[in-house]
Amino acid sequence: MNRKRIVVGVTGASGSPYFLRVLRLLLEANTEVHLAVSDLGKRLLFEESNIAGVSAEKLGVPEFEQNLIIYNDKDLGASIASGSFLHDGMIVLPCSSNTLGAISSGITNSLVQRAASVTLKERRTLIVAHRESPLSLIDLRNMCAVTECGGIIVPLSPGFYMQPKTIGDIVDFMAGKIVDLVGVEHTMPVRWKSSV
Ligand SMILES: Cc1cc2nc3c(=O)[nH]c(=O)nc-3n(C[C@H](O)[C@H](O)[C@H](O)COP(=O)(O)O)c2cc1C
């Protein structure tokens, strides 16, 4: 099987543990990950997960450094900003309402936003793992626009039917659902089997 190449964008919404879990799942599956983190994404990594700075080591995946390509979010000339960069899908995780709005409008001022917009125009898989609560009508309309363009909105709202015991279990469930959507294999407990 060909090695997958996935673009990941991290923005300033709550949910950095989901990103850290997805990143590890992708890398463990031998995926090449191309990563950009917005300024507020960096802040959320620090506020929620005590991570200051973005590197394979700081993100807890030093053993996969050669498969993790990190970009400056201000570099709109980076390879992932171009439709000529071939990849198997992009995940924006977590996705803020700000970045959702940029993707839906097509007015992009950062590498995460531009790469997502290009993913839509090239008709590739775009996963938008949005987090905000409650949702405004603007958020809902932006979600409709992205969905109409082929994007997949994934609210960061884990299910509890697998009876999670820890926060890690909850994170694993949501991370597994996201990784499923880009066709990467994993062993997270997401498959429902009825007990009745
Ligand atoms: C601690 C903290 C938590 C935040 N949580 C959210 C959130 O869950 N959802 C959201 O849409 N914005 C949230 N924000 C606001 C965004 O970070 C802000 O709108 C920012 O402009 C997003 O920029 P970005 O999309 O370039 O990352 C949060 C900000 C901070 C500082």
CATH of the domain at 108: 3.40.50.1950
Cα–Cα distance for residue pair 33/36, rounded to 1 Å = 10
Could you identify the atom of ligand 1 that is nearest to the CA of residue 73? 26
Closest atom of ligand 1 to CA, residue 97: 11
- pLDDT band, very low/low/confident/very high, at 195 (cuts 50, 70, 90): confident
pLDDT tens-digit series, residues 8-64: 999 999 999 999 999 999 999 999 999 999 999 999 999 999 999 999 999 999 999
Question: Does residue 194 belong to any structural domain of this protein?
Answer: no
pTM of this prediction? Answer: 0.97
Q: Average pLDDT of 62-81? A: 98
- Please tell me the distance between residue 132's alpha carbon and the centre of ligand 1 in angstroms: 9
Query: How much is the pLDDT for 2?
Result: 79
Q: What pLDDT does 1 receive?
A: 55
Q: Which residue's CA is the closest to the ligand 1 atom numbered 14?
A: 13
124 falls within a domain: yes
On whether residue 186 sits in a domain, the answer given is no
- pLDDT of 189 reads 87
Contact 164, 173 (CB under 8 A): yes
The answer to whether residue 188 sits within a structural domain is no
Asked if residues 11 and 132 have their Cβ atoms less than 8 Å apart, the reply is: no
Distance CA 140, CA 155 (A): 11
Cα(106)–Cα(20) distance, integer angstroms? 27
List of residues 6+ apart from 106 with CB closer than 8 A: 117
The closest of 75, 77, 84 to 119, measured between CA atoms, is 84
**Mutate-to-test residue for ligand 1 from 98, 105, 139, 142, highest number of ligand atoms within 8 A of CB:** 98
To test the pocket of ligand 1, the residue of 40, 49, 117 to mutate (highest count of ligand atoms within 8 Å of its CB) is 40
CA angle, residues 138, 143, 147, in degrees to nearest 5: 150
CB-based burial label for 25 (10 Å; 0-12, 13-18, 19+): buried
CA proximity to 122, closest of 88, 75, 96: 88
Query: Mean pLDDT across the stretch 168-173?
Result: 97
pLDDT tens readout for residues 78-135:
999 999 999 999 999 999 999 999 999 999 999 999 999 999 999 999 999 999 999 9
For 44, the domain range is: 5-181
Give residues (CB < 6 A) around ligand 1. Answer: 11-14, 38, 40-41, 43-44, 47, 96-99, 110, 131-132
pLDDT of 144 > 90? The answer is yes
Q: Which atom of ligand 1 is nearest to the CA of 132?
A: 9
pLDDT (mean) for 161-187: 96
Does the residue 191 lie in any domain? no
State the pLDDT at residue 91.
98
Query: Residue 171: how many CB atoms within 10 A of its CB?
Result: 20
Assigned domain for 190 exists: no
The reply to whether 195 falls in a domain is no
Domain count, the chain: 1
